[in-house]
Amino acid sequence: MRTGRGANEGTTQLTRDGDDPATRDRAVFDSLEPDSRDEVGVPSMLERLIETGLRRDDLRLQEVFRALEDADERAIDFDSFSTVIGPCRGLIERALAGRLTIPDFPSFKTEVTALYERSLARRDGELASYIPQLARVNPERFGVAICTADGQMFSIGDADIEFSLQSCAKPIIYSLALEEHGAEHVHRYIGREPSGRGFNELSLDSDGKPHNPMINSGAIMACALLQRGQELADRFEFVLDSIRRIAGGRKVGFSNSVYLSERRSADRNFALGYLMREHKAFPEGTQLIEILEFYLQCCSVEATAEVMAVVAATLANAGVCPTSGLRQFKPATVQNCLSLMSSCGMYDFSGEFAFTVGLPAKSGVSGAIIGVVPNVLGFCCWSPRLDEHGNSVRGLDFCRRLVQAYNFHAFDNLTGMSEKKDPRLTRAQNFADDAGQVTWAASFGDLKGIRQLVARGVDLERGNFDSRTALHLAAAEGHLEVVEYLLNLGVDPQPVDRFGNTPLDDATREGHEPVIELLTHGSKRGERAW
C-alpha cells in the first residue's frame, strides 16, 4: 500500500492555526509515530482509532475501516494515509488529535466502569409482573451504554441484550409526530403538562386532552397522529425503520410474545382510548382499536442498550445521528422532546429526578432508562428490577452517580464552584486549568482571583509543569499580600521547583525584601508565624 513519499515526508512540522489541510494531515500522520521508513502500522492505527471510542460499526467510517482492513500491506505511508482517510478526514483528524467530545476516552471508560460496578451492587426492587414476558426476565441483568455527540461509544455489562422498549418508545413516537405535523398541530391533541398522576391513570387535562406525550394516553394519541391514512402494517414499519435510522442503522427488532401479552392485558390502555374517544379527543376518522394495537406494537419493539444509547445521542446531538452523520429530527423537534422528557419522563418521580439528576430522560417498565446530556452524550441503562415508581433501581442509581461524578446536571454550569469533573476537557486541560490559573493569578498578584480558586477547592500547592507553585510565582514577582495569604492558609512554605529553587530563593534572586523578610522570619522561628 506504499504509494511514494509525501511532499512533507518525514518532517514533523510545527502546526499553527490556519495551516493548510496537507500540513494538518501530516501532523496527524506523525502523531501515529511513523517508523524509519515513514510508515505507520495498520493494526496500530486501527487500535488508536478504536481507543478514541469510534466503533467499527460506525456508518461514517465504513469505508475507512474496510480500506485499512483490506490493506494488503500491514503498513501505510503518508500518501496512502491521506487517501484512506479521504472523506472522513475531519472526523479522523479530530479523533487522533484528541478533539472528540470526550478527549480522554480511556479514562472516561474506566470511571464509568467504576460507577457501573457500584450500581451493580443494588439488588432491591421488583420485576414488572403485569405480563409474563417481563416477569420472567433475569433480574440480574444490567447493561449501560453511552454514545457521545461525536459517536464515541462505550458499553458495559448486558448492553447487547435486547429488551422491549415499552415507554422508552414514547419520546420517539412523539418526535416522529412532531416531524410529520409540527408542534402546533400535535399539541392541539396532546398537552405538555406533567399529569401529577400515574402514567396510565384514567385522567385527561381540563381540555379533555392527554396531559403529555410521555404517558400512555399521550403516546396513544401520538400514534393516532402518525402516518394517518396508511395501513397499520406500514405505519408500524415506518416506526421500526425510523428507530433504525435514529440508531445509526443498528438492529431493532420486535417481540411478538410481548405484543400478544400486552394485547391481552391492555384493559387500562383500552379504557384510556375509550375515555379519549368519549371526549372527542382523537382526530376525525381514528380507528381506535387499530391505534391501540399500533401503540402496543411500539411498546414491544426490542433493542439493546447500545442501540438506545445511539438514539439518545441523536437527541443529544440536536437530531443528527452521531454514528451516521445524518439528520433525523429538526432541532426544534428535539428541543420539544427534551423539554417534555425533563418534566414528564420518569413517571411520578419526574420532579424529583429533574431536581436531583437534572437531565432529560425517559424510563420504561422493562427497566430501561434513556438519558440525554445535550451536546455531550446519550446513554441507556437497562436493569429490570423496578422501584415503587416503576423506574429501574440500578438505572436510577447509575444516573445519580453519573451526575455526581460529572458536571452534567442541567444547572451545574450555574454554580461555578462545581467539584465535578468535566469530561469534555483533556487530562492536561483538567490538570493545567487549575494549576495554570492559580500560578498565573499568583504571578499577577491577583489575590481576588486566588480567593475564588480557593473557594472552588483548587489545590494551591499543585505546581505547574516545572513544579512551580503559586507561592514561587508570588515570591518571584514580589506580591507580598499574596505570599502572606498563601502562608496564612498553611501552604508548604518551602516547596522545591524543578530547578531546585524555593520561593525564598526566587524572592532573594529578584531582591524583594519584604517577601524575603516574611519568608525568612517564618522559617527562622521554625514555626508558621503566619
Does residue 384 belong to the site contacting ligand GLU (CB under 6 A)?
A: no
151 to 180, contacts with ligand GLU by CB under 6 A?
166-167
Contact 403, 391 (CB under 8 A): no
Q: Which is nearer to ligand GLU, 57 or 302 (CB)?
A: 302
Length of the chain: 530
Residue 366: C-alpha distances to residues 141, 155, 289, 357, 387 (Å): 11, 19, 24, 21, 12
Q: Which stretches of 163-287 are DSSP H helices?
A: 170-181, 183-189, 216-225, 232-246, 256-264, 267-278
Does residue 437 belong to the site contacting ligand GLU (CB under 6 A)?
A: no
64 to 83, contacts with ligand GLU by CB under 6 A?
none
425/442 Cα distance (integer angstroms): 24
Among 227, 269, 324, 439, binds ligand GLU (CB under 6 A): 269
Strand order in the sheet with 301-303: 163-164, 301-303, 253-254
Q: Which is nearer to ligand GLU, 54 or 131 (CB)?
A: 131
Cell of 189: 391533541
Does residue 293 belong to the site contacting ligand GLU (CB under 6 A)?
A: no
Q: Is 496 exposed, middle or buried (0-12, 13-18, 19+ CB in 10 A)?
A: middle
Residue 514: C-alpha distances to residues 101, 461, 508, 510 (Å): 48, 22, 10, 12
73/187 Cα distance (integer angstroms): 59
Backbone angles phi, psi at 427, to 5 degrees: -60, -40
Does residue 255 belong to the site contacting ligand GLU (CB under 6 A)?
A: no
199/210 Cα distance (integer angstroms): 11
Among 365, 369, 442, 518, binds ligand GLU (CB under 6 A): 365
CB of 299 to ligand GLU, least distance (A): 4
CB of 178 to ligand GLU, least distance (A): 20
77/88 Cα distance (integer angstroms): 18
- Report the b/e string of 216-243 with b at 16+ CB within 10 A: bbbbbbbbbbbbeeeeeeebbeebeebb
187/181 Cα distance (integer angstroms): 10
Q: Which is nearer to ligand GLU, 265 or 339 (CB)?
A: 265
227/91 Cα distance (integer angstroms): 36
Closest by Cα among 211, 172, 224 to 347? 211
Does residue 199 belong to the site contacting ligand GLU (CB under 6 A)?
A: yes
CB of 133 to ligand GLU, least distance (A): 11
Does residue 195 belong to the site contacting ligand GLU (CB under 6 A)?
A: no
Among 213, 319, 364, 423, binds ligand GLU (CB under 6 A): 364
Q: Which is nearer to ligand GLU, 148 or 255 (CB)?
A: 255
Three-state DSSP at 445 gives: coil
Contact 205, 271 (CB under 8 A): no
378/317 Cα distance (integer angstroms): 9
CB of 174 to ligand GLU, least distance (A): 14
| Number of residues forming the site for ligand GLU (CB under 6 A) | 10
CB of 436 to ligand GLU, least distance (A): 48
Does residue 350 belong to the site contacting ligand GLU (CB under 6 A)?
A: no
CB of 131 to ligand GLU, least distance (A): 8
x/- contact string, 294-323, with ligand GLU (CB under 6 A)?
A: -----x------------------------
Q: Which is nearer to ligand GLU, 348 or 459 (CB)?
A: 348
Does residue 216 belong to the site contacting ligand GLU (CB under 6 A)?
A: yes
End-to-end Cα spacing for the chain:
68
Does residue 497 belong to the site contacting ligand GLU (CB under 6 A)?
A: no
Among 107, 200, 203, 426, binds ligand GLU (CB under 6 A): 200
Does residue 203 belong to the site contacting ligand GLU (CB under 6 A)?
A: no
Closest by Cα among 465, 522, 462 to 495? 462
Q: Which is nearer to ligand GLU, 116 or 347 (CB)?
A: 347
CB of 199 to ligand GLU, least distance (A): 5
Q: Measured at the alpha carbon of residue 197, what is the angle toward residues 265 and 127, in degrees to the nearest 5? A: 45
x/- contact string, 9-48, with ligand GLU (CB under 6 A)?
A: ----------------------------------------
Among 150, 262, 293, 397, binds ligand GLU (CB under 6 A): 262
Does residue 217 belong to the site contacting ligand GLU (CB under 6 A)?
A: no
Q: Which is nearer to ligand GLU, 99 or 136 (CB)?
A: 136
Region of 399 (left: φ > 0; alpha: ψ -120 to 50; beta: rest) is: alpha
Q: Which is nearer to ligand GLU, 226 or 365 (CB)?
A: 365
Would you tell me which residues interact with ligand GLU (CB under 6 A)? 166-167, 199-200, 216, 262, 269, 299, 364-365
